[in-house]
Structure 1
Amino acid sequence: MPRRDTLETSRKRALWRATHRGTKEADLVVGGFAARYLAEMNPAEFAWFEALLEEQDVDILAWAFGTAHPPPKLDGAMMVRLQALDYLAVPGRR
């Protein structure tokens, strides 16, 4: 019988995946986004975030920095939120 994850467990797993991407830059962008917004995401937003986690770091960073257009399935309000980059912690800045 398959295990049924609770939403809390799924969010914890997504946070771990967001902060352990493989590159420091992606850890900061994707992990920072997750740390700021994950707890308040509704089911549709969480599904978007899980789809984002399946993408390559180089693509996510290009979309976040606006150097490439995201695919239609990821474009929209959540991508705009990711592109704001206002969730990043900058050392020495308050």
Structure 2
Amino acid sequence: MDGDGDPERDIRVRKLKFRSWHRGMKEMDLILGHFADSSLESLSDSELDTYEELIGVEDTALYNWLTGRENVPPEHNTTIFSRIRTFNHMKGPLWHQ
């Protein structure tokens, strides 16, 4: 956020980053926090809406979907979910930063 953007959007992105880093399950803090830091500014408003819905999901379910332990429900199997999963696989085990 460079200060040239929409202040309301900047606040929204900051809040989403905070929520991403403060979830309650350390693994999800790391997975979503790193993704948020590297990607949220480049998302469209619609993609931010989708991300916000996704981070509203309970940690254990979201973690199981991201790790392939459970199938992702169709309503959450979005482009943003795929980007998070790909980011996590490319980054490796984020909790060993």
TM-score range, shorter chain: 0.7 to 0.9
Partners of 1:79 and 1:58 in 2: CA distance: 15
- Aligned equivalent of 1:15: 17
- 1:17-56 equivalences in 2 (<5 Å): 17-56=19-58
Greater share of helix: 2
Partners of 2:79 and 2:69 in 1: CA distance: 18
- Aligned equivalent of 1:63: 65
Partners of 1:70 and 1:18 in 2: CA distance: 19
Task: For 2:64, give the aligned amino acid.
Answer: A
- Aligned equivalent of 2:3: none
TM-score by length of 2: 0.79
Partners of 1:30 and 1:37 in 2: CA distance: 10
Partners of 2:63 and 2:85 in 1: CA distance: 9
Distance 1:65 1:82, change over 3 A: same
TM-score by length of 1: 0.81
Structure 2 alignment gaps of length 5 or more: 1-6
Runs of 4+ in 1 over 3 A off after TM superposition: 87-91
Name the % identity: 24
How far off is 1:26 after superposition?
0.9
Distance 1:18 1:76, change over 3 A: same
Aligned alpha-carbon RMSD (Å)? 1.7
Partners of 2:61 and 2:35 in 1: CA distance: 16
Q: Secondary structure at the match of 1:61?
A: helix
Number of residue pairs aligned between Structure 1 and Structure 2 = 87
